[in-house]
Amino acid sequence: MLVAIVYRCIGNRPYPCGLFLFSQTPEGVAEVPPSTSLPSTDSQVEGMPVPRYLRVKQMISQQILTGAWPPHHRVPSENELVEELQVSRMTINRALRELTAEGLLVRMQGVGTFVAEPKMHSALFAVNNIAEEIAVRGYRHRSEVVLLRQEPASPERALAMNLHEGEPVFHSLIVHYQDDVPMQIEDRFVNAPLAPQYLEQDFTTHTPYSYLQRVSPLTAGEHVVEAVLGTADECHLLKIPRGEPCLLIRRRTWSGKLVATSARLLHPGSRHRLEGRFGP
């Protein structure tokens, strides 16, 4: 028995849509009637029906895992998949939603659905330079400065940084990208006397971390990790749907006995993970 995978083209891209089987006969090779592109829910696997949405997931997963669809590859739209695979929009939507939740796809509002990068990971208890983390992975880091200004410390901020209410602090809000994919919103408050030229820095060419390490080396740090839902503005900056889970790291760092910074680092849950290790 010979097996041939059949592809259809959606736009200029090929997608597997079914199998053709051939058997050897005395007269040569004969075709066995082909399977459909997506078997109906009556199809059986080990005696159990295979839902159509699961077959769609399997087809897309196979394209990703074999490398046919590399990271950043644009997945066909729901309408394209509905037309080519002859299944309902609800079926396609469920398959794409589940693959997004599993981290294989990234859905960017107003742009489309793309194959996800393997998740960026950070050491749980380390303070790292995100630009270096991205470069080590072989990608290009860039940043977008949303806000950079001096503010009076609010009561909450003064408490977190051991300052008096109203003392000046520097506030920066920066989005970090891996190539063109937003990976982190860095919302940072800085103890002004420890980094007096902070507002003069060009944080599109270097990160706050690298500058602070030069002028006021960090000697200690504190992390609090939470699972949260991003606000509407945060989801817009990260290019994720509203309501998508995010990973939030609240971090304070010290330089000597003084709190140097208080930061809120927000990552899309589908694009980031933390790793830790303990023991001998």
Cα 99 from chain centre = 13
pLDDT of residue 127: 63
Contact (CB, 8 A) for 111 and 117: no
Q: Which two tokens stand for residue 178?
A: 């891996």
pLDDT of residue 264: 94
Cα 196 from chain centre = 34
pLDDT of residue 206: 93
Residues in the chain: 280
E strand or H helix that includes residue 171 = strand 168-178
Longest Cα pair distance anywhere in the chain, in angstroms?
93
Distant-in-sequence, close-in-space partners of 130: CB < 8 Å, separation ≥ 6:
141, 176, 183, 184, 186, 207, 209
Spell out the domains of the chain, with CATH numbers in brackets: 2-115 (1.10.10.10), 120-275 (3.40.1410.10)
CA distance 56 to 91: 8
pLDDT of residue 109: 75
Q: Which two tokens stand for residue 72?
A: 């950043």
CA distance 4 to 262: 59
CA distance 77 to 73: 12
For the full predicted model, state whether its pTM sits above 0.75. no
Question: Helix axis angle, 78-85 relative to 89-101, nearest 10°?
Answer: 120
Q: Which two tokens stand for residue 36?
A: 């459909």
Mean pLDDT per segment of 10 residues, for the chain of length 280 residues? 42 43 45 42 50 87 84 88 90 89 79 76 59 84 96 91 94 94 94 96 94 89 86 91 87 91 89 54
Contact (CB, 8 A) for 162 and 189: no
